């Protein structure tokens, strides 16, 4: 009996986190209520406080869950050796653009959304969000380093700076796509980045 209860509780907790990823990605941290969350989950409000000490603790866990999901998406594309390194980056941006389209541009990037909302107000959130973003930067940098090895990118290119530039441009494009309800800003950001890093006159990612 104890085992069954543990499984049920674990599933309920996971469901609260899963719902939080969807809600926070669309609404942000301050624009959603715990009442809304527990209603969607179909659980009493007391259940939330059984699993999480506070809304802040819950938010940090949701960020980690989103990061785990997003890293898998990145790895799916950026480690695909059937494509060249720049083609892998293009494949990721295409997949992400289709995802925003699928959700009618109501959802953006949870990390980007919360960075604008919370980074200047809460040090714990700022530190966590930066940690997640750095992990994403590292993955793009590894892919760009592979691009050097196969001659897609200049040998003297600063891949750390380029990876930061990619995410700066991409997160801005995500915000603009939500404003415009269009994938055009995402397509523009992807094309401009790939054209900027390709060397010399590479066409693999075009």
* pLDDT per residue as tens digits for the range 173-189: 999 999 999 999 999 99
pTM comes to 0.86
Residue labelled with tokens 């090895």: 149
Q: Which CATH architecture has domain 59-197?
A: Orthogonal Bundle (1.10)
CB 66 within 8 A of CB 58: no
C-beta neighbour count of 99 within 10 angstroms:
12
Residue labelled with tokens 């994938």: 183
What gap in Å lies between CA 148 and CA 67, rounded to an integer?
Answer: 27
* pLDDT tens figures, 28-77: 898 888 888 988 888 888 888 899 999 999 999 999 999 999 999 999 99
Please state the domain extents for the chain: 59-197
What gap in Å lies between CA 175 and CA 164, rounded to an integer?
Answer: 17
Helix (H, G, I), strand (E, B) or coil at 19: helix
CB 147 within 8 A of CB 85: yes
Residue labelled with tokens 């953006």: 108
CB 48 within 8 A of CB 37: yes
């Amino acid at each position: 009996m104890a085992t069954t209860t543990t499984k049920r509780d674990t599933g309920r907790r996971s469901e609260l986190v899963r719902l939080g990823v969807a809600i926070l990605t669309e609404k942000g941290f301050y624009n959603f209520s715990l009442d809304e969350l527990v209603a969607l989950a179909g659980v009493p409000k007391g259940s939330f406080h059984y699993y999480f000490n506070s809304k802040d603790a819950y938010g940090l866990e949701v960020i980690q869950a989103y990061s785990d999901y997003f890293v898998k998406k990145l790895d799916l594309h950026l480690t695909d050796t059937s494509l060249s390194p720049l083609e892998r980056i293009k494949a990721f941006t295409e997949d992400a653009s289709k995802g925003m389209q699928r959700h009618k541009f109501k959802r953006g990037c949870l990390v980007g959304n919360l960075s604008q909302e919370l980074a200047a107000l809460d040090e714990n959130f700022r530190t966590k969000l930066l940690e997640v973003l750095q992990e994403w930067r590292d993955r793009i940098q590894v892919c760009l380093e592979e691009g050097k090895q196969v001659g897609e990118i200049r040998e003297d290119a600063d891949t750390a700076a380029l990876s930061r530039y990619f995410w700066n441009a991409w997160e801005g494009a995500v915000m603009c796509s939500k404003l415009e309800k269009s994938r055009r800003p995402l397509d523009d950001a992807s094309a401009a980045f790939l054209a900027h890093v390709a060397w010399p006159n590479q066409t693999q990612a075009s």
